[in-house]
Structure 1
Amino acid sequence: MSVSNQIKTITKTFIAVAAVSVVFSACQKKFDDMEPIELAALTVVHAGPDTQELDFIVGTQRANKESFKYGARFGYLGLYPGTSSIGITPQGKNNFLLTKNELYQSGKFYTTFLVDTGKLRSFLTINDKLDSIKVNEKAKVRFINTSPETQTLDLTIAGSATEIATNKAFKQYSIFTDVEPGENVTLEVKDHVTKEVKATIAAMKLEKGKFYTVWAKGYNGKAETDSLKFKASVYNVSLKQ
């Protein structure tokens, strides 16, 4: 389902996906008399290179249906506009490992990345600005560096002079950039200084009107069989009806 359809469905039914809690004031109108509210939308990515399985909490409710583990993504969730508390707990537990208050504006799209591990954990929340980007004949690609131990990185198209993002340090990211659609497009994450290819996303289809997020994750120097090794991942959303 496209993002637009998800949000419209949420707005019509006046509930948030994944049972996100909503608190009304004591002087609220009766439910039937209330005007529809345009919600905010949030997708969440676990980019903290750790084997611990977690729950992602919005307000007092668990937002993830499945275990929230490294590499996982869920959303878009519909959230009522305003300030909401987000946090993580060990799976099935009540003790918070990290919490933060975030402001979500009506009609806006957000991505929150959980980055790093242990006491260095933090949330990186990005306003995706999907509501302000006109869909055209191009695909749209952005890059986010969530690898704690890497140098600055570039994202390029293999065999092309096209640079989608350059010189991105840990927790830095680019805006969505127009890229020519293609049936077999290979993306490369490179060391900004040496231009060595550090990770590759094998030939994939880039479609016009879709938004692709490429994120570098993990640690350098890990064995190929180690789930926490440095690599790049990608996901996409569409604003088509």
Structure 2
Amino acid sequence: MNISNLLLKNLRYKHIYAFVAASFVLLLSACLKDDNADNGSIPATLVSIVHASPDAGDLIVGIDGSRANNQSFNLGNRIVYLPFFPGGHQFQVNRASDNKMLDIKNWNLEGSVYYTIFAVDRLDSLELLGVRDFYAGDEFKENHAKVRFINLCPDSVSFDLKVNTIDTLLASNKKFKQNSQFGDIIADDKTSYNVQILDHATNRQLAVEEFKPVAGRYYTIMAGGLMDPKTEAQKLRVFVLKHD
């Protein structure tokens, strides 16, 4: 499916679509805020998309045949949560330079659940990886945030995730495309962390990034890039993704 051509064909209807899309978002957002089976509302499902391919360059993302990103979409970029009715949805990713389709997946999504879909691996084997995030209405400890780790470095060894002020690892022995569950971490005005990606076998530090969480927020710490990069832009580094 040529997503770009589909959008160009329908460009003359952009004002109508914008109004319909805005109404759709408001309707689904209202469903999430008032998720009560007795009043007949349908709880929405929300999906974000993250570019995690170190060498794919600019990508086009399509959802159910419509383009999801209007701006450039490169390594580390994220499309914030988009609301949909629960059920089956089709996700597609194309290379922006020539609109070549790289992967297409169909997923059945639950209501009141947040998901992130990652475009992962190198260009010649790029795929979409769907990960369940959390449920709407999950509770937080006071002055805490929730953090998880995902290893999306294609040529990686197993990684650990450590922060400088906590003795225990936040995640251990995560191979490519593996993630940990969300865990609690202190988040107040006085607390910041150095987040370190370690080689699980040798305990050698491979990448580090400063991280200051905000209480009541979810974060994914992503290992992205390559251990053996061809360019500086492809170098392994820590990405802190805030779920908003």
Structure 1 residue matching 2:226: 3-state secondary structure: coil
2:73 to 57, 68, 76: 68
On the 8 A contact 2:92/2:101 being kept in 1, the answer is yes
Q: 1:201 aligns with which of 192, 196, 209?
A: 209
Q: For 1:128, what is the secondary structure of its paired residue?
A: strand
Instruction: Identify which range, 154-163 or 165-174, moves more after superposition.
Output: 154-163
Alignment partners' CA distance in 1, 2:178 and 2:97: 32
- Deviation digits for residues 184-203 of structure 1 (CA, Å, limit 9, x no counterpart): 2111111111111111012x
- Following superposition, the deviation at residue 36 of structure 1 comes to 4.7
Q: What's the CA shift for 1:119?
A: 3.5
Equivalent of residue 184 in structure 2, options 165, 172, 178: 178
Residues 1:228 and 2:231 are matched in the alignment: no
Q: For residue 152 of structure 1, what is the aligned residue in structure 2?
A: 158
1:115 is matched by which residue type in structure 2? V
Choose which of 116, 139, 142 in structure 1 pairs with 2:145.
Answer: 139
1:195 & 1:14 partners in 2: Cα distance?
46
> How far off is 1:68 after superposition?
1.8
2:11 maps to 1:37 = no
Identity of aligned residues (%): 30
User: Over residues 193-229 of structure 1, what are the superposed CA-to-partner deviations in whole Å (9 max), with x where a residue is unaligned?
Assistant: 1111111012x32222111110001111337x61001
Aligned length in residues: 209
SS of the residue 2:233 aligns to: coil
Which of residues 109, 127, 130 in structure 2 aligns to 1:104? 109
Q: Which residue of 2 aligns with 1:3?
A: none
- Where structure 2 has 5 or more consecutive residues not aligned to the other structure, the ranges are 1-22, 30-39
Q: Matched residue of 1:139: which SS?
A: strand
Secondary structure class of the residue paired with 2:111: coil
8 Å contact from structure 1 (residues 14, 36) kept in 2: no
Q: How large is the Cα RMSD of the aligned pairs?
A: 2.2
- TM-aligned CA deviation for residue 14 of structure 1: 5.0
Task: Report the CA distance between 1:97 and its aligned residue.
Answer: 1.7
Q: Structure 1 regions of 5+ residues with no counterpart? A: 1-8, 16-34
TM-score, normalised on structure 2? 0.78
